[in-house]
């Protein structure tokens, strides 16, 4: 048998016609079509390579542990702001900036939650911060 490129398998030689008197010279016989198993087809290309956006989106999808870690981090930020505010209130030096930081921290946390109870607590904190800001602004105007 003779293998010639990717065109298939053919016989290397075979019975050739006797040379006639016509003066024909050397002839190469054409390989016969492969009999038996079907010819192999070309392998299909690999599906399209993901775009960079898709890869980045997959990296952003976090498992439950990662989401919990981020939530704990955001909650820690709110607790830190609340602690600073408590110290400011006890010392009589609470500022509008502290209250505004608290409102922003609560707003950022609200974007990452879908828990009704947590939403209720965040609503209460945000309302209380707004009331305290209004009180401080009123006191500053009166002074």
Using pLDDT thresholds of 50, 70 and 90, give the confidence band for residue 7: low
Query: What are the pLDDT digits (tens) for 106-140?
Result: 887 777 677 788 888 888 888 888 888 888 888 88
**pLDDT at position 136:** 84
* Average pLDDT estimate for 35-56: 61
This prediction has a pTM of 0.47
Q: For residue 50, name the pLDDT band (cuts at 50, 70, 90).
A: low
User: SS3 sequence, the chain?
Assistant: CEECCCCCEECCCCCCCCCCCCCCCCCCCCCCCCCCCCCCCCCCCCCCCCCHHHHHHHHHCCCHHHHHHHHHHHHHHHHHHHHHHHHHHHHCCCCHHHHHHHHHHHHHHHHCCCCHHHHHHHHHHHHHHHHHHHHHHHHHHHC
Comparing 9 with 120, which gets the higher pLDDT? 120
């Amino acid at each position: 048998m003779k293998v010639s490129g990717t065109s298939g398998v053919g016989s290397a030689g075979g019975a050739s016609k006797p040379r006639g008197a016509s003066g024909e010279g050397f002839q190469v016989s054409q390989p016969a079509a492969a009999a038996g198993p079907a010819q192999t087809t070309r392998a299909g290309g690999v599906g399209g390579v993901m775009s960079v956006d898709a890869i980045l989106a997959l990296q952003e999808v976090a498992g439950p542990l990662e989401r919990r870690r981020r939530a704990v981090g955001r909650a820690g930020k709110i607790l830190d702001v609340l602690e600073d505010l408590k110290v400011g209130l006890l010392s009589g030096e609470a500022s509008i900036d502290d209250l505004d930081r608290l409102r922003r921290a609560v707003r950022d946390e609200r974007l990452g939650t879908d828990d009704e109870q947590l939403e209720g607590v965040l609503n209460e904190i945000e309302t209380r911060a707004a009331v305290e800001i209004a009180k401080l602004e009123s006191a500053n105007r009166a002074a």
